[in-house]
């Protein structure tokens, strides 16, 4: 089906104003078309005013309702928002008491009375507890069961091995073990073999979640798990808390599970916030005219990073190619590396004079450094990337580091103290990061 065919089909489907449309993945799976074709159809309808997008929730039929301007932010609300920002960045640790009231007053530029009122409001909600007269810490709802084991579920091969995991996934696994050890917990690692929808132990034996009675919670990575519904159909039958590292577009989250207190969905890399943080970093350096280079612009994460850069007021030249969604797409093609380099060279040749290049991930940045060293492309005036991988250190490439440590810390905390958080009920838990300069 073409883009025009999809537009006609959607227009004849009798949707009513406010109806949520099927996700891009759902439509692509049912029709056999590519996600890019479906996404283009949705974008075309949105440009015509027939549907609208709601960040984190997907596409809806009709015109987006107007929202009246809210009342001014009260001082206690401002302080609570700043506390949440510190929680998202990992500056506030779940394992330690909050800083002293005096230190927080200085950090958040507020009065002693406002700080105390904010903290007492959080204590009344059950988020915080108090030691003595002035030191606050996160409330503990630790499971009283005698079990001390949690599940860690990540994708695996047919033998139950994790040898295909990427650098970020391995780092996450290591940090989950460290955080579990700090909480006197053991970790039972299970592989999820998606092709058969099976959970496997280290020996390749099938394991049923309902038989894991010695475990009281699970941490699940969705990295490169493509049929999300199949996985979550199995997780929905469990009764213990589940922390989910969500590596997909935000609108694909199972809405029914998002509302359950025992499920916590964490966003590490999707959305606009990585682009916004990199954009602010560049503005502080006085770099305001940039080029965004991405050979993966079919993906939502690449598009969102571009939006984030634009939303902080940078002047952005788009050097993008939308024929692939990820490095894994290139791997499926013959002469993948040669094709990859060809696309990159064609993209950077179009770049006008700018202050900096922002590239969609370290893999792109490292390849561009190699091409520049070979004299095949001009050397960029300055370059910054996303991922902060080992290769970014080898090539001294400044790169945005996703907050894997805080992801592991808060995932374990959700299992031992479900519902204790600075996020509001049902919020998507978005963790921030920062640029590491080399």
Q: How far apart are the first and last CA of the chain?
A: 47
Q: Is the pLDDT of residue 28 over 80?
A: no
Tokens representing residue 411 in the block: 């995932």
Degrees to nearest 5, angle at CA 271 with 255 and 433: 120
What is residue 68's three-state secondary structure? coil
What are the tens digits of pLDDT across the range 230-259? 999 899 888 899 999 998 877 788 777 767
Determine the angle formed by the axes of helices 101-108 and 112-124, rounding to 10 degrees: 110
Least confident of 48-57, 320-329, 394-403, 429-438: 48-57
- On whether the CB atoms of residues 282 and 261 are closer than 8 A, the answer is no
Q: Looking up tokens 């860690």, which residue turns up?
A: 152
CA distance 89 to 84: 9
* pTM score, whole prediction: 0.78
Give CA–CA dist 224/248, Å, rounded: 9
Q: Which of 87-91, 146-150, 402-406 has the highest mean pLDDT?
A: 402-406
| Long-range Cβ contact pairs of 196-205 (< 8 A, separation 24 or more) | 196/158, 197/227, 197/230, 197/231, 197/234, 199/153, 199/234, 200/156, 200/158, 200/159, 200/160, 201/160, 202/160, 202/161, 203/160, 204/158, 204/159, 204/160, 205/160
Residue 257, burial from CB neighbour count under 10 angstroms (0-12, 13-18, 19+): middle
Query: Does residue 103 carry a pLDDT above 60?
Result: yes
By DSSP bridging, strand 51-54 and strand 215-221 are unpaired
pLDDT of residue 283: 96
Q: When comparing pLDDT for 193 and 132, which is higher?
A: 193
pLDDT score recorded for residue 254? 76
Average pLDDT, stretch 268-295?
95
Report d(CA 223, CA 301) in Å as an integer: 13
Going along the chain from its start, the domains and CATH numbers come out as 3-61 (1.10.10.10), 75-138 (1.10.10.10), 149-265+405-430 (3.40.50.2300), 273-401 (3.40.50.2300)
Is pLDDT above 50 for 70? no
Q: What is the pLDDT of residues 382-421, one digit of tens each?
A: 999 999 999 999 999 999 999 999 999 999 999 998 888 8
Residue 48's Cβ-side half-sphere holds a number of Cα atoms within 13 Å equal to 13
Q: What is the pLDDT of residue 198?
A: 95
CB 367 within 8 A of CB 330: no
Question: How many angstroms separate the CA atoms of 339 and 401, rounded?
Answer: 28
Average pLDDT score over the chain: 88
Question: Which helix (H) or strand (E) segment is 221 a member of?
Answer: strand 215-221
How confident is the model at residue 141, as a pLDDT?
59
Phi/psi at 245 (5° precision): -85, 105
Whether pLDDT at 1 is above 70: no
Do the beta carbons of residue 348 and residue 319 sit within 8 Å? yes
Greater confidence (252 vs 157) lies with 157
Residue 69 has pLDDT above 50, yes or no: no
């Amino acid at each position: 089906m073409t883009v025009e065919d999809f537009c006609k089909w959607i227009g004849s489907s009798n949707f009513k104003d406010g109806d949520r449309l099927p996700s891009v993945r759902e439509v692509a799976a049912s029709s056999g078309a590519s996600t890019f074709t479906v996404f283009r159809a949705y974008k075309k309808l949105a440009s015509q005013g027939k549907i609208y997008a709601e960040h984190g929730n997907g596409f809806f039929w009709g015109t987006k309702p107007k929202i009246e301007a809210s009342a001014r932010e009260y001082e206690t609300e401002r302080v609570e928002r700043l506390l949440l920002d510190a929680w998202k960045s990992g500056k506030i640790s779940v394992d330690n008491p909050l800083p002293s009231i005096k230190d927080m007053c200085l950090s958040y530029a507020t009065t002693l009375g406002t700080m105390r009122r904010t903290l007492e409001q959080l204590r009344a909600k059950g988020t915080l507890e108090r030691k003595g007269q002035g030191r606050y810490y996160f409330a503990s709802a630790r499971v009283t069961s005698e079990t001390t084991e949690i599940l860690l579920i990540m994708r695996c091969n047919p033998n139950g091995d994790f040898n295909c995991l990427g650098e970020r996934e391995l780092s996450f696994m290591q940090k989950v073990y460290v955080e579990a050890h700090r909480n006197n917990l053991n970790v039972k690692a299970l592989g999820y073999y998606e092709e058969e929808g099976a959970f496997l132990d280290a020996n390749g034996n099938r394991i049923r979640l309902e038989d894991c009675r010695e475990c009281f919670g699970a941490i699940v990575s969705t990295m490169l798990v493509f049929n999300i519904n199949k996985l979550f159909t199995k997780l929905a039958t469990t009764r213990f808390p589940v922390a989910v590292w969500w590596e997909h577009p935000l609108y694909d989250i199972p809405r029914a599970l998002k509302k359950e207190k025992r499920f916590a969905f964490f966003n590490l890399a999707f959305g606009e916030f990585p682009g916004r943080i990199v954009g602010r970093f560049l503005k502080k350096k006085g770099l305001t005219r940039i080029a965004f280079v991405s050979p993966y612009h079919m993906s939502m994460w690449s598009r969102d990073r571009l939006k984030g850069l634009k939303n902080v007021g940078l002047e952005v030249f788009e050097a993008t190619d939308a024929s692939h969604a990820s490095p894994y797409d290139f791997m499926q093609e013959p002469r993948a590396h040669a094709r990859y380099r060809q696309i990159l060279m064609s993209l950077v040749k179009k770049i006008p004079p700018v202050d900096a290049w922002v590239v969609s991930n370290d893999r792109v940045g490292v390849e561009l450094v190699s091409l520049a060293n070979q004299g095949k492309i001009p050397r960029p005036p300055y370059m910054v990337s996303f991922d902060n991988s080992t290769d970014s250190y080898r090539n001294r490439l400044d790169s945005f580091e996703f907050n894997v440590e805080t992801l592991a810390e808060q995932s374990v905390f959700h299992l031992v103290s479900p519902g204790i958080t600075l996020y509001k009920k049902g919020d998507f838990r978005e963790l921030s990061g920062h640029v590491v300069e080399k």
